[in-house]
Amino acid sequence: MESKSKVARSSFVVGSATLASRLFGLIREQTFAYLFGAGTATDAFIAAFRLPNLLRDLFAEGALSAAFVPVFTDHLLNKGKREAFRLANLVINGIALILALIIAIAILLTPYLVRLIAPGFSRVPGKAELTALLAQIMFPFLLFISLAAISMGMLNTLRYFGIPALAPVFLNLGMILAGFFISPYFSPPIIGMAIGVLLGGLGQWLCQLPTLFKEGYRYQPIISFQDPGFRKILILMTPAVLGLASTQINIFVNTIIASLLPEGSPSYLNYSFRLMHFPLGVFGIAVATVTLPIVSAYATKKDVTNVLATCRSSLELVAFLTLPSTLFLIIVRQPLISVLYEHGRFTYEDTIATSQALLFYAFGLFFFAATRVVAQVFYSFQDTKTPVKISFVAIATNIFLNLILMKPMSFRGLALATSLSAMVNFIVLSFVMTKKYGSINWSVWLKSVIKILIASGIMGAVLILVGLIWPLNLGQTSLRSKIIYLASILAISALSYAFACSLLKIKELGFLWSVLKKSKKKENLSIFSL
């Protein structure tokens, strides 16, 4: 119960902060849709950003965080804060040197990388060249985001969750401001958005430093590739480079294939994945972020029972939050996309196409989130080899399904393939975790999930009924009416889901409510320092 309370309370803090970040992310996507629509410039930017973004998962928020947090936690608990901060400085300086070399090589190889990830762009004059230029501008973003990831790992281990979760606001803000105030000075204007990525990444790192300084951290220009702690992190990172980044690699493969499909396909996939990523970040990734330092502390003490108990409570929480979100996205996808994106150059036809991609991405929402939670158990025991082996299965599944589905379903097939590969990843990873560390009592968890599915189904039935009683003609309805409709549907879905959970006596509803009430009573609890 103690670990469940920690996860739930901290997840609420991270989820709240992430919600703010995702809202700015939606504004960022609206800025893209308004200024650039779903055409050549947007396709080029999306493909270009895939390159540093893939490396971001491989070397920063993915593998680096997974390897750094358990080792940093071990130093903090067994050697004290001073040694832990010394390790952090070694990692910062060592990773910075490694990334400087990687970035320099990547910039030189960018034209060839673009041919690899977007071979179809060469059919449009100037599109491949624009993609290469944008990627070269954005590659240094990898260094800033890696420093931000190390800072986030330190703060999370010190039980500061709010500020790291709010940090991505600066990335989104940098791109939003760049769209309106920097892009007009460049030709083509999309170059300004690439500069915004750099400014936003820098802000995401710098905003976390004041809290670290308050905790006593001071930067030191020290480096040692022979330090046991740093070497252990590098060793753990090597397999984790592919293990935790399987989802990003799947999206990367989608980009290659999408470039061969009709114009606008990469944009439809990007806009819809971003929308799916909203509840994934607010709910799923928030729970996974909180789970890692908690299970790492238990793993350091060899307390397997509490590691598994924390995993189960986290998975229950993920199901409680993501399953109704899945149905909401499926049923209300067209009004949602119309309100958020259908402005400027983003047309009604773009709304329909994007909603079709979102339909198939939504099926994978729970599996994307749950996979991250289960992976944390392996990382807490400093086992990064097992997830990478399983990720190969998921990647192979994605590629196989992409090739099968791309012709009959076009870009829709790519979204479905990504969701199905996430499901495979979760199932295999869970099976291996159970065999290696013990069961989380899956039968009890499954009973909870079935009740949550029933409650979500009740909510979905209510939304379908409302749609029949209150139909909405997107092509002939004003933006104001669509906003009112969407806000009403959101409120109805929340109330109907809460009512169904209460009727079925789903314990997560009452538990979360009690956690929220306790959190409000604690004077020392704030969104910045939980």
Residue 168 in any domain: the answer is: yes
Helix H or strand E encompassing 61: none
Range of the domain at 195: 40-244
DSSP string, 217-273: --------TT-HHHHHHHHHHHHHHHHTTHHHHHHHHHHHHHTTSSTTHHHHHHHHH
Sign of CA dihedral 141, 147, 148, 152: positive
Owner of token pair 């944390």: 376
| Cα-to-chain-centroid distance, residue 140 | 21
The pLDDT assigned to 525 comes to 39
* 492 and 356 fall within a common domain: yes
* 51 and 101 fall within a common domain: yes
pTM here is: 0.71
CB proximity list for 44: less than 8 A, separation 6 or greater: 121, 127, 130, 131, 134, 190
Q: Is the peptide bond before 188 cis (omega within 30 degrees of 0)?
A: yes
The pLDDT assigned to 505 comes to 87
| Cα-to-chain-centroid distance, residue 442 | 26
How many residues belong to the chain?
Answer: 530
The pLDDT assigned to 326 comes to 94
Gap between the Cα atoms of 127 and 214, Å rounded: 47
* 405 and 274 fall within a common domain: yes
Of 498, 489, 525, 168, the C-alpha closest to 321 is 498
Copy the structure tokens of residue 8. Answer: 């739930």
* 329 and 370 fall within a common domain: yes
Instruction: Please give the average pLDDT of every successive group of 10 residues along the chain, which has 530 residues.
Output: 58 70 80 79 86 72 77 90 94 92 93 85 87 94 91 88 85 91 91 94 94 93 91 81 58 72 82 83 71 79 88 89 93 90 83 93 93 87 84 87 90 92 94 94 92 95 92 78 90 94 84 55 40
* 410 and 389 fall within a common domain: yes
Gap between the Cα atoms of 53 and 63, Å rounded: 13
Residue 527 in any domain: the answer is: no
* 503 and 412 fall within a common domain: yes
Residue 54 in any domain: the answer is: yes
Copy the structure tokens of residue 115. Answer: 């041919």
* 16 and 60 fall within a common domain: no
The pLDDT assigned to 529 comes to 39
* 135 and 265 fall within a common domain: no
The pLDDT assigned to 251 comes to 63
Residue 256 in any domain: the answer is: no
Report the domain count for the chain: 2
* 281 and 148 fall within a common domain: no
* 395 and 319 fall within a common domain: yes
Residue 525 in any domain: the answer is: no
Are the CB atoms for 103 and 13 separated by under 8 Å?
no
Residue 530 in any domain: the answer is: no
Owner of token pair 């499901």: 423
* 481 and 469 fall within a common domain: yes
Which DSSP category does 529 fall into? T
* 68 and 165 fall within a common domain: yes
Residue 250 in any domain: the answer is: no
- Helix %, strand %, coil % for the chain, to 5? 85, 0, 15
Are the CB atoms for 245 and 58 separated by under 8 Å?
yes
Gap between the Cα atoms of 123 and 126, Å rounded: 9
Residue 311 in any domain: the answer is: yes
